[in-house]
Amino acid sequence: MAGAIMSNRLPAAVTWVGFVALGLLVLPIVGLLQRAPWSSLPSILGESEVLEALRVSLIVSLAATAACIVLGLPLAFVLARRRLRFPRIVRAVVMLPMVLPPVVAGTALLFALGRRGLVGQWLDSWFGVSLPFTTAGSVVAAAFVALPFFVVTVEAALRQAGDDLDEAAATLGAGAWATLAHVTLPTIRPALAAGTALAWARALGEFGATLTFAGNFPGRTRTLPLETYLALERNPEAAVAISLVLMAVALAVLVTLRDRWMPR
Amino acid sequence: MAAGSTNGHRRPPRTVPWLAATALMVVATLGAACSGQSGRGTGDGDVVVMAASSLTDVVEIVFEHRESVTPVIAASSTLVAQLAAGAEADVLITANGATMDRAVFEGSVRGEPVLIATNTLVLATPADNPGGVTGLSDLSRKDLLVGLCAVEVPCGQLAGRALDEAGIAPSADTLEPSVRALASKLSLGELDAGLVYATDARAAELATVHAPELEDHLNGYYIASVSAEPRPEVQAVIDDFTKLGSSGAKALYAYGFLGSDRRPVWPAPS
Amino acid sequence: MTVTFDGRVARSGWALEVDGLEMDEGVTAVIGANGTGKTTLGRAVAGLDRLADGRLEIAGSVADDPAAGVFVPAHQRRVAMVFQDLRLFGHLRVIDNVAFGLRRAGADRAGARRQAGTLLERVGLDSAAWPRRPAALSGGQRQRVAIARALAPEPEVLIVDEPLASVDSSGRAQLRSLLGDSPARHVILITHDPVDVATLARRVVVLDAGAVAGRGSAAEVTASPGCEWAATFLGANVVPGRAHGTSVTTEGGLVLAVAEEAAGPVYVTFPAHAVTLHRDRPAGSARNAWQAVLSRVDIDGERARVHLGGPVAVKADITKHSADELDLRPGLTIWASLKATEVTIVT
């Protein structure tokens, strides 16, 4: 792993500090693995509550990812291709959910889309739609925090690709939609895949915003991270077991990404 | 080395030790941050008090003039887990008997736990009571958005017992893992009704609906010294809460806690 | 059928201004130093850049006229472009790159691929490369793909931006002949290669500092290049001939020694200033010396351009001072010499 070609040009201290940092990242995982109740793992993961939470988690994370693609793709195009009036501010706003504490994000969503929120009160009185405490609310919360991951990834790829190929397509008779479908999107496919995977992983692990905005009810809004949190109070072993599942899924996604789509 | 002696101007780069030192500092700081303030040694007259998060305001008032006291505020279960993991503290105050029980059982606490206050569940609604809640049985109304505490946390267990005894099957829409979160959702009007502690209802300025079924379901607050033989300054802090007419007792009362003469659901461990 | 360009394209910091440029059918070579607006001219015709004001007509219909609110977008113009950086679609196979324009015009996949194959054969790309991605090809192969791709949708106008730069010399002749009888009615050839101008261009447009400095047939522009850069560029002599080893026999029967080996039909190019003139047979290192009849002398400031007739038509740039010393006048027979190292062989 350390056998880098350039290592002779790298000060030794940098290498060492690098490994210290790696240790910092790996140590908690080792701690988790060492406390994992390997023998009772199947029975814990087979519990109906865990399966229920897994089902909710899959539905919520996949729906949120779909929302990220449908909404995020146009946004990435706007950021990359449109001349905006305040580009830095707009871009900062897009990235805000990445740094916002998720609980604050959830509260902000309540203020906006809650039953008495800015927009939510109209949704409620006109359509009878109330998002909090519903699966749809969990999807909204997860999509809110996951969206920047997709947008930032795709926007970077669009910027890097530029519009050279789009111009070439235009001179070959391709209109705007044909260019989008046959040239632009295929060209940034690796970034689309990476962005989708990142958004999905973030949505799967989402906790604070979901809890704050959508609450916690088994079979409806209780996702795996919520189950983990509650299990920590009830039965720490179960919490470790569920965390292992989440970690394994995330690791699998990231390793696949690195192998397939990320430039090496 | 050879290069250094043949060329006087070329010295080994100075940045290397700085880099290493900085990295060590970062790691050390992170380590300190992770272990929390409890890493401060007890002694030298300093007293570290671990207190349940529902006591945040009370603790602030009581220790306003005791500069030697360092409060550590977290959920009772978290505090007990930290003690078990070796965090150093002098006094533990939990928001229920079960967590204190565990601390005693694990040997983290050697002093005698003393009941200092009780707290009762109330049927709370947003200030304008938009659902027209009139009694505990309304919690089973499907048209209302009803919030309870999750069964994993004490207020949820307390609520479960009370509803069981009253024979009410609640139609809950959310099971919040924290009573504070439940209270704030009620105050935002996102929920129509819920069962929260009287103190939280008061802090969040919620309306309460009379529910006699809840009156017997009390939660106990316990204080105990970590050491079997507390230092005098530690004993003084405990006395702040246990003595009749103490500043702690007054502050607890002021924030809506009930007295220690009531009988909580979980008696103190013997 | 003409392309008429009369307008201004604004870029950041400068603008291309073209007044009443008319390009008839055939190959129009656009020459000029770097940054004079050659590519911008091509992009405006293709519809990739808009006119700030003025009017662009392609084959009788208005393509761009800001005052009238007309702008025909690039994909509706039937103007194809071979970009300097090629811009092949990396995610598509070579064959599908070429089929792209046909597919957009409504051809089915199989039909488009068949036609694309025909074009790739014409540009001389080995069929083993057809199913590969552009990244797996050499620079020269990629260039052929780019030309085939642009020709595929049968454009009215084909714009070729520095087309032959990275093609190996053997392929250059083939591609040049391909452009010469291109199916596109108009070819706008942006080039830095004097051979392209000499062999392909029916007319030449010289751009200098964002404006047209000269226009006309190659001979007209050579006589009046309009700017220093074009004068030097057009001063290059381009002589067809047949190579055998390190010598080339030109069409007029003159045998020139050259520094590189070649075989078969070639072009010999050398700058006008590489030719020296003498009253008597020169001695010394220049192995290439021949007698020629002086046909014309153009004096331009301190420079004199001397046109020599038979055995080959050659231009020579000398100083006005030397011209006076040699007492040059038309009809005079004079010795010309040329160093072998000044000669470039273009196949």
C157 touches chain A (CB under 8 A): no
- Closest CA–CA distance from residue B268 to any residue of chain A (Å): 20
Contact A186 C91 (CB under 8 A): yes
Query: Based on the domain organization, do C325 and C193 belong to the same domain?
Result: no
Phi/psi region, residue A107 (left: phi>0; alpha: psi -120 to 50; beta: rest), is: alpha
How many CB atoms sit inside 10 A of residue C123's CB? 21
Contact B189 A115 (CB under 8 A): yes
What pLDDT is stored for residue C224 in this prediction?
76
Contact B176 A11 (CB under 8 A): no
**Dihedral angle of Cα A169, A172, A174, A175, to the nearest 10 degrees:** 100
Of chain C, the percentage scoring pLDDT greater than 70 comes to 96
Q: Which domain holds residue C187?
A: 3-228
C-alpha to C-alpha distance for C319 and C303, rounded to whole angstroms:
5
Distances (CA, A) of B239 to B53, B72, B99: 20, 18, 21
- Closest CA–CA distance from residue A135 to any residue of chain B (Å): 11
Is B106 among the domain residues? yes
A133 touches chain B (CB under 8 A): yes
Q: What is the CATH number of the domain that holds B108?
A: 3.40.190.10
Is B31 among the domain residues? no
Would you call A80 helix, strand, or coil by DSSP?
helix
The mean pLDDT of C209-217, rounded to a whole number, is: 88
Neighboring chain B residues of A128 at a CB cutoff of 8 Å: none
Question: Is the model's pLDDT at A203 over the cut of 50?
Answer: yes
- Kindly list the structural domains of chain A, giving each domain's residue range(s) and its CATH number in brackets, ordered by start: 61-222 (1.10.3720.10)
Greater confidence (A71 vs B19) lies with A71
Question: Is the model's pLDDT at B55 over the cut of 60?
Answer: yes
Contact B145 A234 (CB under 8 A): no
C-alpha to C-alpha distance for A121 and A147, rounded to whole angstroms:
24
Highest average pLDDT, of B90-99, C166-175, C219-228, C285-294, comes from: B90-99
Tokens standing for A244?
């292992």
Size of interface A-C (CB pairs under 8 A): 70
Q: Where residue B268 falls among pLDDT bands split at 50, 70, 90? A: very low
Query: Based on the domain organization, do B72 and B134 belong to the same domain?
Result: no
What pLDDT is stored for residue B22 in this prediction?
57
Query: Based on the domain organization, do B52 and B137 belong to the same domain?
Result: no
Q: Where residue B34 falls among pLDDT bands split at 50, 70, 90? A: very low
Query: Based on the domain organization, do B250 and B189 belong to the same domain?
Result: no
Query: Based on the domain organization, do B63 and B180 belong to the same domain?
Result: no
C-alpha to C-alpha distance for C154 and C152, rounded to whole angstroms:
5
Which of the listed residues B214, B238, B262 is the one where a domain comes to its end? B214
Let me know if chains A and B touch, i.e. at least 3 Cβ pairs under 8 angstroms: yes
A159 touches chain C (CB under 8 A): no
Query: Based on the domain organization, do B104 and B229 belong to the same domain?
Result: yes
How many domains, in total, are found in chain B? Answer: 2
The mean pLDDT of B141-167, rounded to a whole number, is: 91
A161 touches chain C (CB under 8 A): no
Contact A169 C85 (CB under 8 A): no
Query: Based on the domain organization, do C147 and C167 belong to the same domain?
Result: yes
Query: Based on the domain organization, do C211 and C274 belong to the same domain?
Result: no
Query: Based on the domain organization, do C153 and C246 belong to the same domain?
Result: no
Which of the listed residues B166, B195, B214 is the one where a domain comes to its end? B214
CB proximity list for B176: less than 8 A, separation 6 or greater: A211, A215, A216, B147, B148, B149, B150, B182, B185
Is B37 among the domain residues? no
The mean pLDDT of A137-164, rounded to a whole number, is: 94
C-alpha to C-alpha distance for C193 and C267, rounded to whole angstroms:
12
User: Nearest CB to A173: which of C88, C90, C101?
Assistant: C101
C292 strand-pairing partners: C334
Backbone phi and psi for residue B92, each to the nearest 5 degrees, phi listed first: -120, 130
DSSP A127-180: I----TTSHHHHHHHHHHHHHHHHHHHHHHHHHHHTTHHHHHHHHTT--HHHHI
What pLDDT is stored for residue A3 in this prediction?
47
User: Nearest CB to A173: which of C75, C88, C89?
Assistant: C75
User: Nearest CB to C90: which of A175, A179, A187?
Assistant: A187
Query: Based on the domain organization, do C180 and C205 belong to the same domain?
Result: yes
Residue in A closest to B157 by C-alpha: A234
Greater confidence (B90 vs B217) lies with B90
CB proximity list for C60: less than 8 A, separation 6 or greater: C1, C2
- For residue range C23-71, list pLDDT tens digits in order: 888 899 998 888 889 999 999 999 999 999 999 999 889 999 999 999 9
Is B11 among the domain residues? no
What pLDDT is stored for residue B195 in this prediction?
95
User: Nearest CB to A133: which of B15, B16, B174?
Assistant: B174
Q: Give the mutation candidate from C40, C45, C48 for the A interface (greatest A CB count, under 10 A).
A: C48
- Closest CA–CA distance from residue A14 to any residue of chain B (Å): 8
What pLDDT is stored for residue C113 in this prediction?
95
Neighboring chain A residues of C85 at a CB cutoff of 8 Å: 164
Q: What is the CATH number of the domain that holds C190?
A: 3.40.50.300
Out of A2-11, A179-188, C230-239, least confident range? A2-11
Question: What is the SS3 assignment for chain C?
Answer: CCEEEEEEEEECCEEEEEEEEEECCEEEEEECCCCCCHHHHHHHHHCCCCCCEEEEEECCEEEEEHHHCEECCHHHCCEEEEECCECCCCCCCHHHHHHHHHHHCCCCHHHHHHHHHHHHHHCCCCHHHCCCCHHHCCHHHHHHHHHHHHHCCCCCEEEEECCCCCCCHHHHHHHHHHHHCCCCCEEEEECCCHHHHHHHCCEEEEEECCEEEEEECHHHHHHCCCCHHHHHHHCCEEEEEEEEEEEEEECCCCEEEEEEEEEEEEEEEECHHHEEEECCCCCCCCCEEEEEEEEEEEEECCEEEEEECCCCCEEEEEEHHHHHHHCCCCCCEEEEEECHHHCEEEC
- For residue range B89-125, list pLDDT tens digits in order: 999 999 888 889 999 999 999 999 999 999 889 999 9
C125 touches chain A (CB under 8 A): no
Is B108 among the domain residues? yes
Contact A226 B177 (CB under 8 A): yes
What pLDDT is stored for residue C131 in this prediction?
95
Query: Based on the domain organization, do B245 and B224 belong to the same domain?
Result: yes
User: Nearest CB to A217: which of B172, B189, B190?
Assistant: B172
Greater confidence (C222 vs B16) lies with C222
Of chain A, the percentage scoring pLDDT greater than 90 comes to 56
The mean pLDDT of B56-79, rounded to a whole number, is: 88
Q: Which amino acid is at B194?
A: G
What pLDDT is stored for residue C171 in this prediction?
67
C-alpha to C-alpha distance for A220 and A58, rounded to whole angstroms:
12
In a 13 Å sphere around the CA of B65, the CA atoms on its Cβ side amount to 4
C-alpha to C-alpha distance for C165 and C189, rounded to whole angstroms:
12
Query: Based on the domain organization, do C214 and C256 belong to the same domain?
Result: no
- For residue range C60-82, list pLDDT tens digits in order: 899 999 999 999 999 999 999 99
Average pLDDT score over chain A:
88
Closest Cα partner for A211 from B175, B192, B139? B175
C15 strand-pairing partners: C10
Query: Based on the domain organization, do B210 and B125 belong to the same domain?
Result: yes
Contact A230 B177 (CB under 8 A): yes
DSSP A227-253: HHHHHHHH-HHHHHHHHHHHHHHHHHH
C-alpha to C-alpha distance for A108 and C279, rounded to whole angstroms:
94
Is B168 among the domain residues? yes
Query: Based on the domain organization, do B74 and B187 belong to the same domain?
Result: no
How many CB atoms sit inside 10 A of residue C97's CB? 28
The mean pLDDT of C281-307, rounded to a whole number, is: 81
| Residue tagged 């911008």 (tokens) | C40
Question: Is the model's pLDDT at C163 over the cut of 80?
Answer: no
Query: Based on the domain organization, do B128 and B188 belong to the same domain?
Result: yes
User: Nearest CB to C91: which of A173, A175, A187?
Assistant: A187
Give A 171-190 residues with CB within 8 A of chain C.
Answer: 171-175, 178-179, 182-183, 186-187, 189
Question: Is the model's pLDDT at B12 over the cut of 70?
Answer: no
C-alpha to C-alpha distance for C216 and C271, rounded to whole angstroms:
21
Out of A179-188, B39-48, C317-326, least confident range? B39-48
The mean pLDDT of C227-235, rounded to a whole number, is: 79
Greater confidence (A128 vs B100) lies with B100
Is B59 among the domain residues? yes
Contact A170 C75 (CB under 8 A): yes
Which of the listed residues C211, C228, C245 is the one where a domain comes to its end? C228
Burial string for B127-163 (b: 16+ CB within 10 Å, else e) reads eebbbebeebbbbebeebbbbbbbebbbbbbbbbebb
Query: Based on the domain organization, do B101 and B223 belong to the same domain?
Result: yes
- Closest CA–CA distance from residue B210 to any residue of chain A (Å): 25
Please check whether residue B59 is in contact with residue B71, taking contact to mean a CB–CB distance below 8 angstroms. Answer: yes
Query: Based on the domain organization, do C188 and C209 belong to the same domain?
Result: yes
What pLDDT is stored for residue C220 in this prediction?
83
Q: Which domain holds residue B67?
A: 44-118+219-254
Average pLDDT score over chain C:
87
Query: Based on the domain organization, do C194 and C325 belong to the same domain?
Result: no
Give A 75-114 residues with CB within 8 A of chain B.
Answer: 110-111, 114
For residue B46, give the DSSP letter: B
- For residue range A129-146, list pLDDT tens digits in order: 888 999 999 999 999 999
C-alpha to C-alpha distance for C333 and C314, rounded to whole angstroms:
14
Q: Which amino acid is at B19?
A: L
Determine whether A101 is exposed, middle or buried from the number of CB atoms within 10 Å of its CB (0-12, 13-18, 19+): exposed
- For residue range B155-190, list pLDDT tens digits in order: 888 899 999 999 999 999 999 988 888 999 999 999
Is B186 among the domain residues? yes
Enumerate chain B positions whose Cβ falls within 8 A of a Cβ in A: 13, 15-17, 19-20, 23, 27, 30, 77, 145, 147, 150-153, 172-177, 181, 185, 188-191
Let me know if chains B and C touch, i.e. at least 3 Cβ pairs under 8 angstroms: no
C153 touches chain A (CB under 8 A): yes
Highest average pLDDT, of B114-123, C167-176, C241-250, comes from: B114-123
C-alpha to C-alpha distance for B265 and B244, rounded to whole angstroms:
23
- Closest CA–CA distance from residue A57 to any residue of chain B (Å): 16
What pLDDT is stored for residue B126 in this prediction?
95
Greater confidence (B153 vs B69) lies with B69
Contact A215 B152 (CB under 8 A): no
pTM: 0.79
C-alpha to C-alpha distance for C44 and C15, rounded to whole angstroms:
12
Tokens standing for A133?
């405490």
How many domains, in total, are found in chain C? Answer: 2
Question: Is the model's pLDDT at B35 over the cut of 70?
Answer: no
Query: Based on the domain organization, do C192 and C270 belong to the same domain?
Result: no
What pLDDT is stored for residue B10 in this prediction?
46
- Closest CA–CA distance from residue C233 to any residue of chain A (Å): 30
Contact A172 C153 (CB under 8 A): yes
Contact B16 A215 (CB under 8 A): no
Question: Is the model's pLDDT at C139 over the cut of 90?
Answer: no
Query: Based on the domain organization, do B145 and B171 belong to the same domain?
Result: yes
Q: Where residue A7 falls among pLDDT bands split at 50, 70, 90? A: low
Query: Based on the domain organization, do C212 and C296 belong to the same domain?
Result: no
Question: Is the model's pLDDT at B33 over the cut of 70?
Answer: no
Q: What is the CATH number of the domain that holds C306?
A: 2.40.50.100
Query: Based on the domain organization, do B102 and B165 belong to the same domain?
Result: no
Out of A68-77, A110-119, C262-271, least confident range? C262-271
Neighbours of chain B (3+ CB pairs under 8 A): A
Q: Give the mutation candidate from A49, A133, A229 for the B interface (greatest B CB count, under 10 A).
A: A133
**Dihedral angle of Cα C73, C74, C75, C77, to the nearest 10 degrees:** 90
Contact C153 A164 (CB under 8 A): no
Query: Based on the domain organization, do C100 and C195 belong to the same domain?
Result: yes
Question: Is the model's pLDDT at B260 over the cut of 80?
Answer: no
Which of the listed residues B195, B214, B233 is the one where a domain comes to its end? B214
Reply yes or no: is the peptide bond before residue A74 cis, omega within 30 of 0: no
Query: Based on the domain organization, do C272 and C204 belong to the same domain?
Result: no
Q: Where residue B243 falls among pLDDT bands split at 50, 70, 90? A: confident
Neighboring chain C residues of A166 at a CB cutoff of 8 Å: none
What pLDDT is stored for residue A72 in this prediction?
96
User: Nearest CB to C104: which of A178, A186, A187?
Assistant: A178
Q: Quote ipTM for the complex.
A: 0.80
What pLDDT is stored for residue B21 in this prediction?
54
Neighboring chain A residues of C90 at a CB cutoff of 8 Å: 187
Question: Is the model's pLDDT at A126 over the cut of 90?
Answer: no
Question: Is the model's pLDDT at C99 over the cut of 90?
Answer: yes
Neighbours of chain C (3+ CB pairs under 8 A): A
The mean pLDDT of A159-171, rounded to a whole number, is: 94
Q: Give the mutation candidate from B29, B153, B174, B184 for the A interface (greatest A CB count, under 10 A).
A: B174
Residue in B closest to A131 by C-alpha: B190
